Amino acid sequence: MAFSELLDQVGSLGWFQGLQTVALVVPIMWLNTHNLVDNFSGAVPSHRCWVPLLDNSTAQASGPEALGPEALLAVSIPLGPNHGPHQCRRFRHPQWQLLDPNATATNWSEAATEPCVDGWVYDRSTFTSTIVAEWDLVCDSQVLKTMSQSIFLAGVLVGAAIFGRVSDRYGRRLVLTWNYLLMAVWGTAAAFAPTFSMYCLFRFLVAMGSAGVMNNTAILMMEWMSEQARTLAMTFNALGYSLGMVLLAAMAYGLRDWTLLQLALSVPFFLFFVYSWWLAESARWLLITGRLEKGLRELQRVAAINGKKAVRDALTKEVLLSALQEELSVSQAPTGLGTLLCTPGLRLRTCASTLCWFAFGFTFYGLALDLQTLDSNIFLFQVLIGVLDIPAKIGSLMLLRCVGRRTIQAASLVLAGLCILANVLVPLEMRYLRSALAVLGLECIGVAFTCITIYSGELFPTVLRMTALGLGQVAARGGAMLGPLMRLLGKHHPTLPLLVYGTVPVLSGLTALLLPETQSLPLPDTIQDVQNQAVKKATARTRKHPVVKSTQF
């Protein structure tokens, strides 16, 4: 772990770390807008079938002049389940008898109606255009909107699986830069997609890029920070997601057309791609993988930015070889996913942390589905979620410093699960209590996300860190894709989905107690470092509780 000493010499918390943190957090804000943009670009406006009497100017001119729009609507569209105009059917012929004051809605039969063969008319008072209105993703085609969301989540899953391993092989900064470009190009292309299938394809590619950005941003920040500043830096990273929710609400409020919104959220990534070439590659990764000359240049550059020119001049290749002799001798061993699952010191860490990632994705989307019904003003509610998330993330910073990673990871997941399970017992009439429990559960999930991002980076060595984080992201997105399907259990009993959503984080939180505490420990660079940590802890416990042997003569 000699790199920690080198980092302290060149500056582990200076101008360089501050500038790089800002440069990395700003794209995270815009990235989270892509994760949640479907709340606005995919909003389902009120709609009804297109009918000649109302929507054809020629038919209106030749129709009954004394009848107003409400009367023409009544004879053209049957009433739906919500006692308003039916959204998916229309009368084959005008039902003039319904104008009789004594007529009721039961005077028409299914045979007298037909689907919306001529299309739909959409309410454009809130959104001038959405993908739902663009490609008529309503009625029999409404499943396509859900499919587009699942395709996006699948893209994040695939991206996490690919770019985690690629980053461990080719570098964090290089993969991050090309993922910025990937999001910029395909996000812009999605705004001009000619068909729904092309839109889904472009969104899938954007999602792949977003996975690479999320993972590499967190690891780049972590590997350039000291142990004392690591939690603070990762909290800033988590706050980027919270501010992204507020940014999305503001952008969507000003741009009510989905094409303009998609374009406005994608173009900034061209700027991020350009300035990302200034970002420093992880010197920790460069040195551990044997790229000594590049690692030396990055360390000298950081020392110069942090105002330590004497240290910069003193750093030479010989100094690095002397300081990292032990790490370089063991870092050439083959590493990969099999190493995570087969190495005794890493197997438990991999399984337990992956389960925590899964619980985060699974529970977050389960809560989000409940929260969508809490407020009719989608813009205000999106801002509310983002604003409330900020004190939760700041509070998690203080808790992680005082209490430790393992305890907070377990407590946040268990508390989130208990909030969901509590809603099983709360009557539907107590709407405000149910809303408060749901919001509290969401904030606990936010704390769990902050913690698992830091925790995963500290549990695994540099040579496997991105592979492990990629595996965690795969688990999280797998949980996100599986979460909405649990709603189907509601057909058997309305409380079953909540029971599943609540049980999974509780069990995962208890599993997190099996993980070792990593607070105030330096980042491990090799598998040997991880094993040495376990030996030191075992030795410390032995010293605290000495074993006294009694010998009989």
Do strands 89-91 and 47-49 pair parallel, antiparallel, or not at all (unpaired)? unpaired
130 found inside a domain: no
Here the CATH number for the domain that contains residue 448 is 1.20.1250.20
Are residues 5 and 103 located together in one domain of the fold? no
Are residues 258 and 277 located together in one domain of the fold? yes
**What is the chain's pLDDT, residue by residue, as a tens digit (553 residues)?**
467 777 788 887 788 888 999 999 999 999 988 988 888 888 888 888 888 877 776 555 445 555 677 777 777 788 777 777 888 888 887 777 777 666 555 555 666 788 888 888 888 888 898 998 899 888 888 788 878 888 888 888 888 888 877 888 888 899 999 999 999 999 999 999 999 999 999 999 999 999 899 888 988 888 888 777 777 888 888 888 889 988 998 999 999 899 999 999 999 999 999 999 999 888 888 887 778 888 888 888 888 888 888 878 787 777 777 766 655 555 555 566 777 777 777 888 989 999 999 998 888 876 665 544 554 567 877 787 788 888 888 888 788 888 888 999 999 999 999 988 888 888 877 777 877 787 788 788 888 888 888 888 888 887 788 788 878 888 888 888 787 677 667 667 777 888 888 899 999 999 999 988 888 777 787 777 777 766 666 555 555 555 444 444 3
Q: Which of 482, 376, 467, 381 is nearest to 175 (CA)?
A: 467
Which pair of tokens denotes residue 95?
Answer: 């039902």
40: exposed, middle or buried (Cβ count in 10 Å: 0-12, 13-18, 19+): buried
29 found inside a domain: yes
d(CA 246, CA 120): 32
Are residues 291 and 341 located together in one domain of the fold? no
545 found inside a domain: no
Domain that holds residue 109: 47-122
Q: Which of 500, 482, 504, 481 is nearest to 490 (CA)?
A: 500
Q: Which of 311, 330, 349 is the last residue of a domain?
A: 330
266 found inside a domain: yes
DSSP notation for 463-474:
GGHHHHHHHHHH
Residues 6+ apart with CB under 8 A from 496: 489, 490
d(CA 320, CA 255): 53
Torsion of CA 54, 57, 58, 60, to 10 degrees: 40
d(CA 435, CA 438): 5
Are 92 and 112 in contact by the 8 Å Cβ rule? The answer is yes
d(CA 93, CA 267): 49
Helix, coil or strand: residue 404: coil
Are residues 107 and 188 located together in one domain of the fold? no
Which pair of tokens denotes residue 518?
Answer: 């990593």
Tens of pLDDT along 405-426? Answer: 899 999 999 999 998 888 888 8
Residue 534: predicted pLDDT? 63
Are residues 244 and 188 located together in one domain of the fold? yes
Are residues 400 and 414 located together in one domain of the fold? yes
Are residues 69 and 150 located together in one domain of the fold? no
542 found inside a domain: no
Residues 6+ apart with CB under 8 A from 525: 1, 3, 284, 288, 327, 331, 461, 462, 463
Are residues 272 and 256 located together in one domain of the fold? yes
544 found inside a domain: no
94 found inside a domain: yes
Can you point out the beta strands (E) in 411-517?
none
Helix, coil or strand: residue 421: helix
Are residues 417 and 506 located together in one domain of the fold? yes
Residues 6+ apart with CB under 8 A from 184: 266, 267, 268, 269, 270, 272, 273
Total domains, the chain = 3
What count of Cα atoms within 13 Å lies in the side-chain half-sphere of residue 140?
7
Q: Which of 308, 330, 352 is the last residue of a domain?
A: 330
Tens of pLDDT along 104-152? Answer: 555 556 667 888 888 888 888 888 989 988 998 888 887 888 788 888 8
272 found inside a domain: yes
Q: Which of 330, 356, 373 is the last residue of a domain?
A: 330
Are residues 498 and 353 located together in one domain of the fold? yes
Q: Which of 387, 415, 40, 68 is nearest to 242 (CA)?
A: 387
Are residues 22 and 114 located together in one domain of the fold? no
Are residues 409 and 425 located together in one domain of the fold? yes
